Amino acid sequence: MIRIALIGDIGSGKSHFAKLFGFPVFNADDEVAKLYKKSRKCYIKLKKNLPNYINSFPINKKHLVKAIIDRNSNFKKIIKIVHPEIRFKMKKFIRKNKNKKIILLDVPLLLESKLNEKNDILIFIETKKAEVIKRLKKRPGFNLKVLNKFRKLQLPLEVKKRKSNFIIKNNFINNFAKKNVKILLNKILLND
């Protein structure tokens, strides 16, 4: 099985590119959203650690954002609860898809959390920062303070870029993205 991991800045288009490959994708952000909606276990742990913010199930993301803005230590508490759950879900996804030729990992903190393996193919999605910010501002519930806190958790983009096997420039034009993914997929499959 070939493991392809997409890395890059928040909002760079990793999820979009992951889908274009046409193979099973583990999307950590989607899994976190499911946890907040469906996991009573996660809710109980967050309520216990953030009683002033979490008071109803399913978990309201706005309450988590308020907790993060109010205090850095709250952000660390959330990470300590959520990350092990996502790590478990990722391992389960990999086991389930072990017979697939390729799987894609769309995990924003893959390198930082040391979830990557030596043979993973790392693809860096390169974008213009101004374009990313413009697009992020259109997302519901966008908060610059929270974005900056998440960015502080990440390795510098130059480090991620250096560690990558391939770089794809994202100009946010779909046909261009599809063409680049096809070319890259052919290169990966030829080297296998």
Q: Extract the tokens encoding 116.
A: 């990557």
> 159 and 185: one domain?
yes
Model confidence at 192: pLDDT above 80: no
Last residue of a domain, one of 37, 70, 96: 96
Q: Is the confidence at residue 132, as pLDDT, over 90? A: no
Q: What is the pLDDT of residues 94-109, one digit of tens each?
A: 999 999 999 999 999 8
- Which residues constitute the domain of residue 187? 1-24+100-192
Shared domain for 167 and 110, answered yes or no, is: yes
The pLDDT tens digits of the residues spanning 50-83 come to: 999 999 999 999 999 999 999 989 999 999 999 9
- Structure pTM? 0.91
User: Is the predicted pLDDT of residue 168 greater than 90, yes or no?
Assistant: yes
Q: How many domains does the chain have?
A: 2
Confidence bin at 176 (pLDDT 50/70/90) = very high
- β-strand partners of 124: 7, 167
CA distance 44 to 55: 10
Q: Which of 96, 123, 155 is the last residue of a domain?
A: 96
Say if residue 186 is in the same domain as residue 108: yes
